[in-house]
């Protein structure tokens, strides 16, 4: 079974600075998808960014980018120019490309933005 590990329960960053959240996963599959979701205090689960495993190019979405290292099974999220609205729980998630469609989530990282 696949597992996702987020080793940083909490992180903090100064407003306008850059922060990187870590995620590692374990799988025997070669094709899969990876996601980062954001959960603010409002409880919504908001998709931040996604990556297809067979694509070597790292995904970017405005201030959000990933560092995908397939061999190391690592998928970190970089947030540039941090804003107060970025404060939230961030979840890394794995989904098989050929088997089960379910998302397997990490335990989450709580990100605090200091003004």
Residues lying near other proteins in the complex (CB under 8 A): 33, 35, 37, 42-47, 50, 52, 91, 97, 100-103, 105-108
Q: What's the closest the beta carbon of residue 25 comes to other proteins, in angstroms?
A: 14
The dihedral region occupied by 4, where left means phi > 0, alpha psi between -120 and 50, and beta the remainder, is: beta
Looking at the Cβ atoms of 63 and 102, the one nearer to other proteins is 102
Distance CA(49)–CA(40), nearest Å, equals: 16
Distance CA(113)–CA(115), nearest Å, equals: 6
Looking at the Cβ atoms of 75 and 91, the one nearer to other proteins is 91
Looking at the Cβ atoms of 50 and 73, the one nearer to other proteins is 50
Distance CA(75)–CA(95), nearest Å, equals: 13
Q: What's the closest the beta carbon of residue 105 comes to other proteins, in angstroms?
A: 4
């Amino acid at each position: 079974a696949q597992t996702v590990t987020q080793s940083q329960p909490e992180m903090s960053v100064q407003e306008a600075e850059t922060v990187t959240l870590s995620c590692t996963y374990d799988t025997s599959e070669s094709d899969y998808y990876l996601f980062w979701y954001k959960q603010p205090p409002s409880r919504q689960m908001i998709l931040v960014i996604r990556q297809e495993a067979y694509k070597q190019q790292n995904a970017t979405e405005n201030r959000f980018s990933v560092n995908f290292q397939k061999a190391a099974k690592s998928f970190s999220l970089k947030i540039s120019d941090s804003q107060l609205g970025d404060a939230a729980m961030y979840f890394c998630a794995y989904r098989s490309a050929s088997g089960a469609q379910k998302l397997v989530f990490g335990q989450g990282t709580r990100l605090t933005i200091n003004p």
